[in-house]
């Protein structure tokens, strides 16, 4: 069951509204937009800086609005699905390129080890194995492995080839190896072919490695573009989804009914320094020492819930909705920490389940791919200089809106500034005595102001 905003606030903060006012406005001939925008503008005018927390709708299955919205949703979903298919295709290509680049990097490391006397012997053995498996094996029955395993008299052929370094057929001890003339002739020819292959293949492999890196960069850029194209469709598909309770008695299948749920949340910070200067708080509250000692912010908040029940009618500009509007104003006294906890709980709740599904499209392999892509694309820059590692090579974040954000770093935990001096006796005394009572009073006043102002502006009866 989806929790309401009020239930989430109660669960997180264990606080009840400081004030609550309910307004019911029923007018089938007037549209609902003016009610919403009047209150929205009014909240902005009083400095609440509102943000929208909930925007849901649900229409009866038999209505024309339901059919139009379903058709629009289907078109958007089809386009989004097509783009996701393209994204998956490019993603598979990137995975294959990364695997190829890893193999090339291992091969190239063997060539680099040839320059190191301590690693040269092991590098030669590795390259000889690759040459026998990839190049010499193409000769069929005349390959080294085929002759050594299938023909008598050539049992020592593989060992001899692995031991010698050049056409002189000398071993690691500098002496010529003891072999019969037939084996020597074969080893001499094959070791010459191998040495030529080592010289030529290194350059070719390096070229292919560079080409693959360029292709990887091209595919990454393509994925960025597809991600940007897909995001609006996925977001629109989520926003066009209907949400609500099918058992709502106001939603009859064959009626032409539309239900809307909107929630606005506004907050106004308590200006402690200004309150102290005006005489509402002790004077030392305005000092920089006290201001710097505060590790919290305090807000008077107003939560406005809109519940619309309307009869949609189609016009040239779109749908016009008139009907019953139920608006509930609630005032809360909250700290910045409590507001963050409420937002986190909203993200976890079913209210954003569709967005969570969208974000899960490409996040499973995000960490590994991010490191691999950056390791190859930033390789040349790291060789020239040692700059700070750049971000932005990871295209998957662009799909859900967090692309180009700085990479998370291990930051030192910030120590909260502790109150020193006379304030250290009881760190919450000023909150209980001054801050909370003030924001509670402000929240109640602003809630009533919004409620009364709307009523007066629309000619309704108000309390004296």
Residue-wise pLDDT for 132-142, tens only, equals 888 878 888 77
Most confident of 144-153, 161-170, 441-450: 441-450
Strand 298-315 relative to strand 318-335, pairing: antiparallel
Instruction: Cite the DSSP H helix spans in 52-176.
Output: 64-113, 120-134, 144-150, 157-163
Burial of 411 (0-12, 13-18, 19+ CB in 10 A): exposed
The owner of tokens 């819930």 is 305
- pLDDT digits 0-9 by tens, 163-173: 777 777 776 66
Whole-angstrom distance, CA of residue 54 vs CA of residue 239: 11
- pLDDT digits 0-9 by tens, 294-334: 888 999 999 999 988 877 776 666 666 778 888 999 999 99
The count of other CB atoms within 10 Å of the CB of residue 200 is 10
Burial of 329 (0-12, 13-18, 19+ CB in 10 A): buried
The count of other CB atoms within 10 Å of the CB of residue 243 is 16
- The full set of domain ranges for the chain reads 1-60+256-361+422-464, 82-232
Residue 382: per-residue pLDDT: 56
Residue of 332, 313, 267 whose CA lies nearest to 14: 332
Residue 25: per-residue pLDDT: 82
Q: Kindly state the average pLDDT of the residues 232-259.
A: 63
Under the banding of pLDDT at 50, 70 and 90, the label for residue 458 is confident
Under the banding of pLDDT at 50, 70 and 90, the label for residue 407 is very low
Whole-angstrom distance, CA of residue 152 vs CA of residue 306: 92
Whole-angstrom distance, CA of residue 462 vs CA of residue 388: 63
Asked whether the predicted pLDDT for residue 208 surpasses 60, the reply is yes
Please indicate whether residue 183 or residue 421 has the higher confidence score (pLDDT).
183
Q: Which residues pair with 324 in a beta bridge?
A: 26, 309
Whole-angstrom distance, CA of residue 193 vs CA of residue 185: 13
Mean pLDDT computed over every residue of the chain: 75
Q: Kindly state the average pLDDT of the residues 207-235.
A: 80
Asked whether the predicted pLDDT for residue 62 surpasses 70, the reply is no
What length is written for the chain? 464
């Amino acid at each position: 069951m989806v929790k309401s905003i009020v239930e989430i606030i109660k669960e997180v903060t264990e606080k009840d509204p400081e004030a609550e006012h309910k307004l019911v406005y029923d007018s089938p001939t007037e549209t609902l937009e003016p009610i919403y925008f009047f209150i929205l503008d009014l909240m902005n005018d009083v400095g609440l800086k509102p943000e929208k927390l909930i925007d849901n709708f649900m229409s009866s299955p038999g209505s024309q609005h339901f059919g139009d919205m379903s058709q629009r949703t289907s078109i958007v979903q089809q386009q989004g699905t097509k783009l996701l298919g393209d994204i998956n295709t490019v993603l598979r290509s990137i995975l294959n390129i990364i695997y190829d680049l890893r193999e090339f990097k291992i091969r190239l490391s063997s060539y680099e080890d040839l320059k190191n006397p301590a690693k040269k012997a092991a590098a030669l053995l590795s390259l000889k194995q690759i040459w026998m498996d990839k190049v010499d094996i193409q000769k069929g029955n005349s390959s080294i492995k085929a002759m050594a395993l299938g023909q008598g008299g050539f049992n020592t052929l593989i060992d001899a080839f692995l031991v010698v370094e050049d056409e002189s057929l000398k071993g690691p001890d500098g002496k010529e190896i003891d072999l019969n003339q037939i084996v020597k002739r074969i080893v001499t020819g094959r070791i010459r072919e191998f040495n030529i292959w080592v010289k030529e293949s290194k350059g070719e492999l390096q070229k292919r490695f560079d080409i693959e890196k360029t292709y990887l960069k091209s595919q990454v850029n393509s994925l960025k573009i597809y991600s940007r194209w897909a995001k609006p469709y996925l977001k629109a598909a989520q926003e066009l989804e209907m949400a609500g309770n099918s058992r709502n008695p106001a939603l009859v299948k064959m009626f032409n009914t539309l239900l809307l749920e909107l929630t606005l949340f506004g907050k106004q910070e308590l200006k402690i320094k200004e309150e102290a200067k005006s005489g509402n708080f002790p004077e030392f509250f305005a000092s920089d020492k006290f201001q710097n000692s505060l590790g919290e912010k305090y807000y008077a908040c107003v939560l406005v819930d809109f519940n619309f029940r309307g009869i949609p009618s189609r016009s040239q500009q779109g749908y016009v909705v008139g009907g019953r509007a139920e608006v509930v104003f609630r005032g809360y006294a909250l700290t910045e920490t409590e507001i963050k906890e409420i937002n986190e709980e909203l993200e976890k709740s079913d209210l954003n389940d569709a967005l969570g599904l969208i974000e899960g499209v490409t996040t499973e392999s995000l960490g590994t791919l991010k490191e691999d892509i950056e390791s190859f694309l930033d390789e040349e820059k790291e060789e020239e200089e040692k700059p700070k590692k750049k971000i932005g090579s990871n295209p998957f974040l662009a799909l859900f809106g967090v692309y180009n954000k700085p990479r998370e770093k291990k930051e030192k935990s910030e120590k909260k500034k502790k109150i020193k001096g006379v304030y250290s006796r009881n760190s919450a005394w000023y909150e209980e005595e001054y801050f909370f009572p003030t924001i509670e009073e402000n929240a109640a006043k602003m809630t009533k102001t919004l409620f009364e102002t709307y009523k007066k502006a629309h000619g309704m009866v108000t309390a004296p």
